[in-house]
Amino acid sequence: MKKITTLFSALFVLICLNSFAQTDSITNPSWNVGSAKEINGTSIFRVSGANNDTLGVTNISYLDYRQIVNDVNAKAAAENWSEERKQLFLKSYESTAKGGKIELYIERKTITAGDFKNFTIVVKRVLGKTMESEVYTEILKKDVPDFSKTTKKYFNSTSILLNDPNLGKIVIYVIEGTGPKKHEFKFELK
């Protein structure tokens, strides 16, 4: 009886998370500059860097630490993890993601363009109306993308963990390439 109650509780949590948390998908290409989307319960404003047929799709989502913990607990219940395994995940996130998790999704026409070795993530704390202070930079490592037979494009996704729990308001830059051919995408968490 206890297992059945646990199973129904886990299903209820998963249904609630899927029903209320995700109002749009990170893979959805229709996200224009100057508009906001709510993904995983967080409103994100696309400041610059358009999705288009020439370049492809570049989108992000963000989960705060509380959402990460809730996701781990829901997944542990749904997949019947041992308490030890669940605590291992929770402790790992506690030491590496107190500031949340950025998820990056890209879609490109070629395998080379879809490789993360061409991308840099920069996170900046907003200090005022026009001032920003860099708090995190990561040049992504080589990661060969997957191919979608449906869209006939290469796609890739990754997570960036932020350990500072006191980030405040942040902006996230996704920079593709270098020099004069670089493309910059700027997102602001609302």
Query: Can you give the pLDDT at residue 131?
Result: 81
- Geometric angle at alpha carbon 184, from 183 and 190, rounded to 5°: 155
User: Residue 63 burial (CB < 10 Å; 0-12/13-18/19+)?
Assistant: buried
What is the C-alpha separation between 177 and 6, in angstroms, rounded?
Answer: 48
Classified as helix, coil or strand, 8 is: helix
Cα–Cα distance, 2 to 168 (Å, whole number): 42
Q: How confident is the model at residue 181 (pLDDT cuts 50, 70, 90)?
A: confident
Residues 19-47 have pLDDT tens digits of 333 357 899 999 999 999 999 899 999 99
Q: Domain 24-64+99-189: which topology?
A: Immunoglobulin-like (2.60.40)
Residue 15 Cα to chain centre, angstroms: 21
Give me the mean pLDDT over the 135-157 stretch: 91
